[in-house]
Amino acid sequence: MIKRFITTMSKKAATTTKTPDFLLKTPKGTKDWADKDMIIRESIFEKLTTNFKKHGGVTIDTPVFELREILTGKYGEDSKLIYNLEDQGGELTSLRYDLTVPFARFVASNNISNIKRYHIAKVYRRDQPAMTKGRMREFYQCDFDIAGTYDLMIPDSEILNILIQGLNDLKIENFKVKLNHRKILDGIFEACGVPEEDIRKVSSAIDKLDKSPWEVVKKEILEKGQSEEIADKIWTFVQHNGSIREVIEILKNSDLQNETAKQGLHEMEVLADYVEAFEIQNYLKFDLSLARGLDYYTGLIYEAVTEASAPPKNLKEKPKDLAADDDASAYVGVGSIAAGGRYDNLVGMFSNNKSIPCVGISFGVERLFSIIKQKTDLTKINSQHTDVYVMAFGNGFLKERMSISNKLWKNGINCEFLYKEKGNLRKQFEGAEKSGAKLAVILGKEEFPQGKLKIKMLGQDNNEEETIEIDDLVKIVESKLNL
C-alpha cells in the first residue's frame, strides 16, 4: 500500500513539472528587453527627452488603445495594419498605430490652441515583422510635435533642428534628412494629369522609390490606372534631389506652374533661410521622390535615413553577442530612423473642422537601438546601479547591515547587502563584484561595537581602506563616490 502511494505521488510530481506543451517564446514581431539592452534604450530615451525639454516640450500620455473610429481612415493604405480589439462592453477599440492621431484627438478633446508636446510610448502594427531591419509589431516611438498657429515655416524649421540635434546627441553617423512638400508633390501629379481622386494612390507608389527601381514603381502606377505618358512625366520630376535651393531652381525652370505647387515652392524658399539660421542645411536633401504614405500630411514631409554599412571584412558570421533577431540591421542599414511632417487638418477631424495646424517628428527607437548597440562595447556596460555593498566580517550583523543600508538608501545612495544571516566573506565579495559596487562598507566584529566602520574602495588595483565613525558614514561615502 505504501509503495503504491509513493508511486502515485511520484507520477503526480512528474506531471506537475513537465515541460509545457506550448512554445515558450514572445509573439512574432516582439521581443523581451532586459539587462544591457535596457541600459542602451534608457540612454536613448534620456538623450531625446533632454533635447525635447530644451525646446520647451511638455509630456503627455494617452491610452494604448483608442476608439476604432478615431484611428480609421487616417493612415491611407496602412490602415490595414491597425490592430483591432474585440468588442468589450459595446465599444469598438483598436491599439494605437502611432502617437500622432492620439495627439490630435487629445488636442481636440481638451480644446488646446497651442502646445509643444513630447510623448514616448509603445505603438502597434499588424505588419509582417522584419526583426533584422528593426521592423516590429510592438515598438516605441519618441514624438515631438508643435500645435498652434504661427508664422510660416518657423515651427517646421525648429522641428528639423530637433531631429538633427537628437540624432547627433545619439552619435548617429552617416544620416541624411530627406525633405519634400505635399503641395509640391500634389502639384506635380496635377501637372502630369493624375486625376485628383488618384493622387494618394499614385503618391503611395512613388513612396517606394527608395526601395524599388523606377521600372517597378512605374508598373505599379500603370496598374493603378494611370497612362504610360503620365508615368513618364512624373519621372521627369521625381528623379531630382539636391539641396533645397538647388531643387527649387530646378522646379522654377520647369513647367510646374499650378497654384498648388507654387504655394509649396514659396514655403520651401522660406524654409531654406531658416535652416541656414539653424546651421543644419548640410544635413538636408530635397528629394522629390519622398512621398510618405500617411494620408494626414498636408505640407512639409521628411525622414532621416542611414546609409548601409558593410560588416567587417573578417566577419564570417554574426558576432555571438548580437541577438539573433534584432541587430543584423546595423550591418545592412535600417533605412528610416525618424520621420514626420506637417498635418494641419487632423485636429479638425475631431473638432468640427476647427483647424489647429501641427507639425512633428517621430524617432524610431528600435531602429536607433540596432545602430547604437552594434557600435557599443557591451563589456563596458554594467546593468547594475549599485554603488555601495554593505558587509560584515566575523559576525552576521544582519540587522545592523540592514540598518546601515537603510541609512544609505534614505540619503539617496544605491546599496545592497547579502541576503544571508551569516554570509561568509567570499560570498559577500562575490556579491559586491556582481553588483558592480565601487565601495564596500564593512561592519567588523571589533570596530562596529565601538561605533566605527571600515570603508574600502573596490577594484582590482585598489587597496584603499580606512576606518571611520558611523556618524560620518553618509558624508564620507558621498565624498568617495563624488555624489
Q: Mind listing the pLDDT tens digit for each residue in 142-179?
A: 999 999 999 999 999 999 999 999 999 999 988 999 99
- pLDDT above 70: residue 354: yes
- pLDDT above 50: residue 312: no
Residue 200 Cα distances to 76, 229, 300, angstroms: 8, 19, 16
pLDDT score, position 17: 55
For the record, the C-alpha cell of 371 comes out as 545602430
Judge whether 150 and 342 are in contact, CB under 8 Å: no
Judge whether 457 and 464 are in contact, CB under 8 Å: yes
Q: Is 76 helix (H, G, I), strand (E, B) or coil?
A: helix
What 78-85 contacts at long range (C-beta under 8 Å, 24+ apart), as own/partner pairs, is 78/125, 78/293, 78/294, 80/126, 81/125, 81/126, 81/127, 82/125, 82/126, 83/124, 83/125, 83/126
At residue 221, φ and ψ (nearest 5 deg) are -60, -40
From the number of C-beta atoms within 10 Å of its C-beta (0-12, 13-18, 19+), residue 68 rates as middle
Residue 119 Cα distances to 72, 141, 197, 284, 363, angstroms: 21, 8, 34, 25, 11
For the record, the C-alpha cell of 224 comes out as 493603378
Q: Which amino acid is at 246?
A: E
Local structure of residue 129 (DSSP, 8 states):
-
pLDDT score, position 317: 40
CA pair distance 387, 17, nearest whole angstrom: 39
Residue 457 Cα distances to 282, 389, 413, 467, angstroms: 48, 10, 15, 12
For the record, the C-alpha cell of 116 comes out as 509643444
CA 252, 254, 259, 261 torsion: positive or negative?
A: negative
Confidence band, pLDDT 50/70/90 cuts, at residue 23: confident
Residues with Cβ within 8 Å of 13's Cβ and at least 6 positions away in sequence, in order, are none
Better-scored residue on pLDDT, 228 or 320: 228
Phi-psi category of 465—alpha, beta or left, where left has phi over 0 and alpha has psi -120 to 50? beta
Q: Mind listing the pLDDT tens digit for each residue in 213-257?
A: 999 999 999 999 999 999 999 999 999 999 999 999 999 999 888
Local structure of residue 293 (DSSP, 8 states):
S
Q: Mind listing the pLDDT tens digit for each residue in 27-66?
A: 888 888 888 889 899 999 999 999 999 999 999 999 999 9
- pLDDT above 70: residue 327: no
Q: What is the mean pLDDT of residues 281-287?
A: 96
pLDDT score, position 335: 77
Indicate the domain borders of the chain: 35-378, 388-480
Query: Which CATH number is 35-378 given?
Result: 3.30.930.10
DSSP string covering 382-404, please?
------EEEEEESS--HHHHHHH
Whole-prediction pTM:
0.82
Catalogue the E-assigned strands of 202-357: 241-242, 284-287, 300-306, 336-342
Confidence band, pLDDT 50/70/90 cuts, at residue 322: very low
Percent of the chain with pLDDT over 90: 63
Q: Which of 391, 369, 346, 451 is nearest to 40 (CA)?
A: 369
Torsion angle, alpha carbons of 344, 345, 351, 357, to 10: 10
Most confident of 290-294, 365-369, 463-467: 365-369
Judge whether 61 and 99 are in contact, CB under 8 Å: no
Pick the CATH number of 388-480 from 3.30.930.10, 3.20.20.70, 3.40.50.800, 3.40.50.300: 3.40.50.800
Local structure of residue 87 (DSSP, 8 states):
P
Q: Mind listing the pLDDT tens digit for each residue in 385-415?
A: 899 999 998 778 999 999 999 999 999 999 9
For the record, the C-alpha cell of 416 comes out as 545592497
- pLDDT above 70: residue 320: no
